Structure 1
């Protein structure tokens, strides 16, 4: 697994290590333990939960009472809180982040039935949204919707795809 951490001089170093810890509880090793918070303990972890070979989750005080998950904000900074027990957060089409509350998801702003959100990469941020005849996809994992798929004849297959 590869991961990148900043150095005190402002540069960054890419590291490679074999996973030694199971963060998501599926029985497979998916993380390396480190001291990310500077407390002198190897009780933090960087995990590759989407299995692409790169760390995508940081866990501070892994296994402890104050365990906290963070993800990369898309710029290489481990700054986005990821609550593993809650529903997914989502970004509107205007780029504004909304809290995890599936009862109020109206991605397209039409005031009709709520869209259903999914988080396929496990980072706590929706990357797929499904509505009546329309779906939105975050292709690159940056939290912003990249493509809108539309099924105009209700056959279950997309008839058009628009870049957003």
Structure 2
């Protein structure tokens, strides 16, 4: 199955690519990723993977070779940017509003309304969600301990927070 992925350059233009997978990132014996040099180190030791089988890359892997550099995995945060640090399976750690640690994402059911329509963001790349967006509400972990500290609300739906409350 061919896989599609989109990459941008430093000037801001993007290009869609299609390629046959040639890397097995989940060790199941099936090629699920396209090998690339994403980090510019001159080695084809990075990959874009399609783990859900829809033909679109949703996981970026860096430094998969056997050198001394630690592997890193990223997912699209919902904006088209590979900034959400995840584990090998594409999961990020996060805490529900009940305080229970979970893995998943970047689209989850944070507000427990039965719909996975809330978006997680890991802006510092540590694998733990720092922000969560749920409808007209955002939750923010301000002290990097994994717990939501502030709830921002947009009551008039203009895209800007109208109120903030400590949690």
Q: How does 1:5-154 map to 2 (within 5 A)?
A: 5-64=7-66, 65=68, 66-84=70-88, 88-90=92-94, 98=95, 105=96, 107=97, 109=98, 114=100, 117=102, 119=104, 125=106, 127=108, 136-139=114-117, 142-143=119-120, 144=133
Which segment is superposed worse, 61-70 or 79-88?
A: 79-88
Q: Which runs of 5+ in 2 are unaligned?
A: 121-132, 136-167
**Counterparts of 1:45 and 1:86, CA distance in 2:** 13
Q: Which runs of 5+ in 1 are unaligned?
A: 91-97, 99-104, 147-164
1:26-75 Cα offsets, whole Å, 9 max, x none, are 11111000000000111100001121111001110014341110111111
TM-score by length of 1: 0.59
2:159 paired residue number: none
**Counterparts of 1:4 and 1:145, CA distance in 2:** 27
* CA contact 2:60–2:74 (8 Å) conserved in 1: yes
**Counterparts of 1:14 and 1:136, CA distance in 2:** 34
* CA contact 1:128–1:137 (8 Å) conserved in 2: yes
1:3 paired residue number: 5
Aligned-residue Cα RMSD (Å) equals: 3.1
1:117-144 Cα offsets, whole Å, 9 max, x none, are 563xxxx546357xxxx663325x8445
Q: How many residues align?
A: 119
**Counterparts of 2:90 and 2:75, CA distance in 1:** 15
Question: How many Å apart are 1:15 and its aligned residue?
Answer: 0.6
* CA contact 2:75–2:90 (8 Å) conserved in 1: no
